[in-house]
Structure 1
Amino acid sequence: MSRFWKIALVVVAVVVVAVVAVRLLHKPGGGGGKGTPQGPGGKDNPPVPVTVVPVAKQNVPVYLTALGTVQALNTIAVNPQVGGQLVSLAFTEGQQVKKGQVLAQIDPRTYQASYDQAVSKRNQDQSLLATARSNYERSKDPKYSQYVAKIDLITQHNTVAQYEAAVAADNAAISSAKTQLDYTQIRSPIDGLAGIRGVDPGNVVTTSSTIVTLTQLHPINVMFTLPEQSLDMVRKAQDGAPLQVTALDRVDAHPVATGGVLKVIDNQIDTSTGTFRLKSEFPNADNALWPGQFVNVRLQVRVDDGALVVPAQAVQRGPDGDYVYQVQGDNTVKMQPVVVAGEVGDSHVMIGSGLKAGEQVVTEGQFRLKPGSKVNPLKPGEVPPAPTAADLKKASEQGKGGGRRGR
């Protein structure tokens, strides 16, 4: 190819590039043309419809949350106090039992025999005691005392004391035998719920055999831990009224049990974890809580009167911290830095500083805003009105005008 044609091709390419660039720079909606419609908030753009709500003032409960474990008020492993063959069980697994109710029966024949033997021995000694007393009383009688040697009188007195001691020992032996006999009936020490039995009838049990485990569910405890930084707050709050505790489901956070109160703050901090233990108590009338269950615990430590509250979606996070879009008197918005003091339920937050009660903040439509944008404030659930024919005609004319200026 000759040098002339090479130069001609280069010139043509430059002209084509120049034409394309000019067309792009003067295209309607581009940033370089005069009269081109502005971005959000520009003079020629309609106001941006946004949802706004006022900053509300309300009393806000302040909570501390933690993971808790349900613990029975009492857990009793029922063991025999004497050994022998287990004759029968008088309860059903999973049954509610009462204090003093018979749970099991051990073969009582050996212990009954020991009791009868102790009673017989006491009867024998009581007869000997009666004879010794009669002899002693007769020997003391003035009519016969002159015929009784002093040493014999002393011996008779000592014999009476000896048999009195023997009868007292027999009474103790009878009491012991009766206790052992009573232990053949295994009774419930508490009102509670029977678990799965640990031994079947017919087996020989000892004092180490567990017949059944009982748990007391009414009331019931929930144990949980909090970081040591919260200790002073909880202790000061506990000096007033009892602190309210709620047990929440771990899946969807709905209340599992309400009406709980904080009972005990442990007397030491765990140095390995930097936490301290707390015990709460629930009535548990409907058995909603079960021993060993994991729940989320919500402890109310105080109520902040007149706190400022906004929907959580109103708060945006920027490089300099949290902020909201605040609507001003001329229906323009500004970025207002705020400090979030805590959560209020699942949908709102408490504002520590940056806003005042009654000020309007944007909750929906923030992605179309920038400082100074003109907005059309709407109430929650409200939709902007449909554009009129005049609005559509004006928008059409602005679009055509922008296209002509780009030519």
Structure 2
Amino acid sequence: MKPTLYNRLAVAVVVAGLLAACSAASPEDDKKARLEKLKTEQANISKEIQKLEEEIAKENPDAETKVKAKEVAVEELQPRKFDHFVQTQGRVESENNILVSAKSMGVVTQVYVTEGSQVTKGQVLAQIDNSVIVRNIESMKAQLELATAVYERQKNLWDQKIGTEVQFLQSKTNKESLEKQLASVQEQNEMTRIKSPISGVVDEVTVKAGENIAPGMPAFRVVNASDLKLLANVSEAYVTDIKKGNKVIVNIPELKKEIEARVTFVGRTIDLLSRTFNIEVKLPSQPDLRPNMTATVKVVFRTEPSTLVVPVNVIQQVNNEKIVYVAEAKGKQTVARKKVVTVDGVYGNLAGVKGLNAGDKLITVGYQGLNDGEYVKI
């Protein structure tokens, strides 16, 4: 076989030389035309050489002569755990992130806290002018003291069957009425104190001493960062997949960390505009977490404990089939073999597939343009 090859090549070269010589000897031929002709003949000879080399390599796989092989990189496939998940965006919120406002109208006389102050539930944050109410309280206390004394005397007399029942009842009614009025005024006085409804940190102070304030006007923001949750919206396409208790992987870009948690609430309503439903994830207490931080959320709704996974970019669509290439030994050579696969979910940059076997050497670099049976070099 080999002498035949070289004889054929020698004849081709001689013929090319003769043609070139004849062309040069013909004065009527243009130089450019001769050059193009020679180039065409050279290309044909190169193709013939390549074809013969491939035929020799196929007929003699163990021979030293090898065809030019395409360089590739491979990855040996092994079963692994594979998560089916949906990815979305979310934001961190505090269960206790409260705007505190006044309950009564008036001028703020004193502010007792600053931003960053630790406060406890019921602690007074600011005082509204209550001078008139305090004077009313003192006056009512004096009246109540007199009414109580009159009532006690009338009660003693009534117990001794002295005096009339009307006098006793009037003194009793007067005393009880003043007690209720005093309690009402004292309650009004309590409303002049702006108190924290929760324990936490003062995150914002919007009121100043000397300012007028009215009920409903925000004065402070108090946040308890130990009780945080994450809110996210998920496409309605996953409404039957996402359930309470599903594992969630929360990635906070600013913190450069991942937090593993669980779905604690799944909304029952689909938003008409976005076609999504909301979920909540309770987050563990961490000092770096802040309300309104953004996060990338992966909600895992199914986990394959052992399956074959390939990079999604190596899967090619050819003639309505999804294919990949694996490297197989053929004698002393290595060839690419086409494998038709079935994709069982694409998540991130990975795809779970069926149609491959553990130990297969998947071609991950240089797979573009490969043909089944083509020689490759790892």
TM-score by length of 2: 0.79
- Cα contact 2:82–2:352 (8 A) shared by 1: no
| Secondary structure of the corresponding residue to residue 287 of structure 2 | coil
CA distance in 2, matches of 1:352, 1:162: 92
Provide Cα deviations, 1:336-395, integer angstroms capped at 9, x if missing partner: 23233345665xx23232222222211122246321112334xxxxxxxxxxxxxxxxxx
- Tell me which moved more, 100-109 or 273-282: 100-109
- Cα contact 2:97–2:223 (8 A) shared by 1: yes
- How many Å apart are 1:80 and its aligned residue? 1.6
Structure-2 residue corresponding to 1:61: 83
| Secondary structure of the corresponding residue to residue 185 of structure 2 | helix
Give the ranges of 4+ consecutive aligned residues of structure 1 lying more than 6 Å apart after TM superposition. none
CA distance in 1, matches of 2:49, 2:212: 102
Instruction: Determine if the alignment matches structure 1 residue 338 to structure 2 residue 346.
Output: no
Structure-2 residue corresponding to 1:72: 94
Instruction: Determine if the alignment matches structure 1 residue 101 to structure 2 residue 109.
Output: no
Structure-1 residue corresponding to 2:63: none
CA distance in 1, matches of 2:152, 2:77: 97
Provide Cα deviations, 1:289-312, integer angstroms capped at 9, x if missing partner: x33333221222232111211244
CA distance in 2, matches of 1:102, 1:365: 71
CA distance in 2, matches of 1:177, 1:11: 127
CA distance in 1, matches of 2:80, 2:204: 51
Provide Cα deviations, 1:84-137, integer angstroms capped at 9, x if missing partner: 321221111233433222211223322222222222222222122223223322
Q: Give 5+ residue unaligned stretches, structure 1.
A: 1-9, 141-152, 378-407
- Cα contact 1:50–1:376 (8 A) shared by 2: yes
1:25 corresponds, among 38, 41, 51, to: 41
- Cα contact 2:310–2:353 (8 A) shared by 1: no
- Cα contact 1:75–1:216 (8 A) shared by 2: yes
- Cα contact 2:91–2:292 (8 A) shared by 1: yes
Instruction: Determine if the alignment matches structure 1 residue 263 to structure 2 residue 264.
Output: yes
| Secondary structure of the corresponding residue to residue 358 of structure 2 | coil
| Secondary structure of the corresponding residue to residue 46 of structure 2 | coil
Provide Cα deviations, 1:139-184, integer angstroms capped at 9, x if missing partner: 27xxxxxxxxxxxx7xx22432333233222222222222222333
CA distance in 2, matches of 1:35, 1:323: 27
Structure-1 residue corresponding to 2:377: 376
- How many Å apart are 1:33 and its aligned residue? 5.5
Structure-2 residue corresponding to 1:307: 307
Amino acid aligned to 2:250: A
CA distance in 1, matches of 2:297, 2:312: 22
The 5 Å alignment of 1:35-184 reads 37-38=53-54, 44-139=66-161, 156-184=164-192
- Cα contact 1:86–1:107 (8 A) shared by 2: yes
- Tell me which moved more, 44-53 or 66-75: 44-53
| Secondary structure of the corresponding residue to residue 88 of structure 2 | strand
Structure-1 residue corresponding to 2:19: none
CA distance in 2, matches of 1:257, 1:173: 59
2:214 corresponds, among 181, 198, 206, to: 206
CA distance in 2, matches of 1:14, 1:340: 60
| Secondary structure of the corresponding residue to residue 366 of structure 1 | coil
**Distance 1:210-1:16 versus aligned 2 partners, 3 A rule:** closer
Structure-1 residue corresponding to 2:199: 191
| Secondary structure of the corresponding residue to residue 267 of structure 1 | coil
| Secondary structure of the corresponding residue to residue 56 of structure 1 | coil
- Cα contact 1:70–1:223 (8 A) shared by 2: yes
Structure-1 residue corresponding to 2:12: none
Task: Report 1 or 2 for greater relative contact order, CA contacts < 8 Å, sequence distance ≥ 6.
Answer: 1
- Cα contact 2:341–2:354 (8 A) shared by 1: yes
- How many Å apart are 1:35 and its aligned residue? 5.7
- Cα contact 1:217–1:287 (8 A) shared by 2: no
The 5 Å alignment of 1:262-281 reads 262-281=263-282
- Cα contact 1:245–1:262 (8 A) shared by 2: yes
